[in-house]
Amino acid sequence: MPLAGLRPQQQQQPIYHQAGLRPQRQQQPIHHQAGLRPQQEQQQQQPIHHQAGLRPQRQQQPIHHQAGLRPQRRSSSPSTIRPGLGPSGRGPPATSAAEIHTPPLGLHDNLEAQKLLDKVRHVARSCKELKEKYNIHNDGLYYLTTTRGILYEAFCDMSTAGGGWTLVLSVHENNLYGKCTLGDRWSSQQGNNPNLPEGDGTWSNKVTFGSPEAATSDDYKNSGYFDITAKDVSVWHVRNNAEMKDWTSMSILRYHTETSFLTSHGGNLYQLFKQYPVRFNVGVCNTNKGPAVPIVYDFGNAVNTANLYGPYSRNEFTPGFITFRVINNEKAPSALCSGVSPTGCNTEHYCVGGGGNFPEGAPLQCGDFAAFGWSGYGTNQGWSASLDMTESALLLFYR
Ligand SMILES: [Ca+2]
Ligand SMILES: [Ca+2]
Ligand SMILES: [Ca+2]
């Protein structure tokens, strides 16, 4: 019996065809190999097996067709089989011509593969480029590629202040009691150690880690950190372990810059930190700090930014800025001060990231969130940050 979708016509002897065959006026079976186009087989007296791509012609014997076959010009006798029915005339209607020609096991049959292909079709160098080139407006995960053609997946914020923001990193404190221990990737995972002035060196190298979906549950850094040429940054402070779909509602603070300050610092933080290394003993507090850039709030304001840090800390910073590479009293650097511009030198209480050596009370100030818990974990007293700030990851975007 013919298989569903076959359209045997005027056959006299069965022949098995594979997808794509176009048997025509054959007289005897022949073994064909892929790509063959027998055209003068009328005189053959031996059976033929057909394989994909063959186009046997002028067959006189019955043929079993499979999806995609287009038997033509078989015997001269009028067909007793109506198109779309089996040889008996009672079979199921044939599928449409379009369906018949769909390659078996093709990607069109696989929704997941099709979704993947659709995503890769919109690959770009940044979320900003995705927005401008393809008019993409939905927040979510997209594929980006680097100057060297490395493909990676990144979260795009297509909503904030016109969109086009690429998430390139998150700083997450997995254990404030662990002082430069496992998980302190943005400072040192190798203990407080004067012999490691840069700690793990994450701010100035091309090591990548984590994943966008886990950006609130672990540290994250993608190739965009060093590959994308950007002008501004956006920062979201999002509660630990928030699901990506809830990042906006689970954020305690969101803001961005609009001054294009990165343009004068190499186009991204990888380049900026070459100018301002996150390394012990490269300068003096306040004298040698990096840029302090005013921010525009997307959620929150300067007053509640200040209140996320301890009362002592509030006496030595101005909220409403993001500041890069500051240096404390003991010459220990921090990579960035989220939401504030320091005027004092106890930056370890309100700035994040760093090198591998924090001398004051060593090792108590060493870690991704440095000394956020100096006056008790999450107490928001003395020098301690609030519990909200202590237990939120810092997500940083480029545009
Ligand atoms: Ca830690
Ligand atoms: Ca960490
Ligand atoms: Ca101090």
Q: How many helices (H) and strands (E) does the chain have?
A: 8, 13
Average pLDDT, stretch 143-164? 97
Task: State in Å: Cα 322 to ligand 3 middle.
Answer: 20
Lowest mean pLDDT of 108-112, 168-172, 200-204, name the range.
108-112
Average pLDDT, stretch 374-394? 98
Q: Are 187 and 155 in contact (CB under 8 A)?
A: no
Ligand that lies nearest to the alpha carbon of residue 202, given by its number in the listed order: 2
User: Residue 84's pLDDT is what?
Assistant: 34
Task: State in Å: Cα 162 to ligand 2 middle.
Answer: 30
Domain residue ranges in the chain: 1-104, 107-399
Task: State in Å: Cα 211 to ligand 1 middle.
Answer: 19
Q: Are 293 and 323 in contact (CB under 8 A)?
A: yes
pLDDT digits (tens, 9 = 90+) for 225-252: 999 999 999 999 999 999 999 999 999 9
Of 221 and 119, more confident: 221
User: Residue 109's pLDDT is what?
Assistant: 77
Nearest residue to 26 (alpha-carbon basis) of 10, 5, 3: 10
Of 140 and 23, more confident: 140
Task: State in Å: Cα 363 to ligand 3 middle.
Answer: 13
Ligand that lies nearest to the alpha carbon of residue 170, given by its number in the listed order: 2
Nearest 5°: phi and psi at 318?
-115, 120
Task: State in Å: Cα 349 to ligand 3 middle.
Answer: 8
Lowest mean pLDDT of 83-87, 101-105, 152-156, 191-195, name the range.
83-87
Ligand that lies nearest to the alpha carbon of residue 171, given by its number in the listed order: 2
Q: Give percent of the chain with pLDDT exceeding 90.
A: 70
Ligand that lies nearest to the alpha carbon of residue 344, given by its number in the listed order: 3
Task: State in Å: Cα 174 to ligand 2 middle.
Answer: 6
Widest CA span in the chain: 101
Task: State in Å: Cα 352 to ligand 1 middle.
Answer: 11
Residues 6 or more apart in contact with residue 116 via CB below 8 angstroms: none
Pull the structure tokens for residue 270: 């990888």
User: Residue 208's pLDDT is what?
Assistant: 98
User: Residue 177's pLDDT is what?
Assistant: 98
Task: State in Å: Cα 179 to ligand 1 middle.
Answer: 5
Average pLDDT, stretch 285-297? 97
Task: State in Å: Cα 185 to ligand 1 middle.
Answer: 9
User: Residue 101's pLDDT is what?
Assistant: 59
Is residue 135 pLDDT above 70, yes or no?
yes
Task: State in Å: Cα 171 to ligand 2 middle.
Answer: 6
Q: Are 192 and 203 in contact (CB under 8 A)?
A: no
pLDDT digits (tens, 9 = 90+) for 309-328: 999 999 999 999 999 999 99
Task: State in Å: Cα 348 to ligand 3 middle.
Answer: 6
Of 228 and 24, more confident: 228
Nearest 5°: phi and psi at 299?
-155, 130
pLDDT digits (tens, 9 = 90+) for 52-103: 333 434 444 433 333 333 434 433 333 333 333 333 333 344 444 445 555 5
Mean pLDDT of the chain: 82
pTM of the model: 0.74
Nearest 5°: phi and psi at 325?
45, 85
Of 279 and 55, more confident: 279
User: Residue 207's pLDDT is what?
Assistant: 98
Ligand that lies nearest to the alpha carbon of residue 349, given by its number in the listed order: 3
Looking at this protein, which amino acid is placed at residue 107?
L
Separation CA 201–CA 226 (nearest Å): 14
Average pLDDT, stretch 190-219? 98
Q: Give percent of the chain with pLDDT exceeding 70.
A: 73
Is residue 35 pLDDT above 90, yes or no?
no
Average pLDDT, stretch 177-202? 98
Q: Which of the four pLDDT bands, split at 50, 70 and 90, describes residue 108?
A: low
Task: State in Å: Cα 183 to ligand 1 middle.
Answer: 6
Separation CA 133–CA 118 (nearest Å): 15
Average pLDDT, stretch 8-20? 40
pLDDT digits (tens, 9 = 90+) for 246-271: 999 999 999 999 999 999 999 999 99
Is residue 304 pLDDT above 90, yes or no?
yes
Q: Which of the four pLDDT bands, split at 50, 70 and 90, describes residue 118?
A: confident
Task: State in Å: Cα 328 to ligand 3 middle.
Answer: 7
Task: State in Å: Cα 330 to ligand 3 middle.
Answer: 8
Task: State in Å: Cα 202 to ligand 1 middle.
Answer: 15
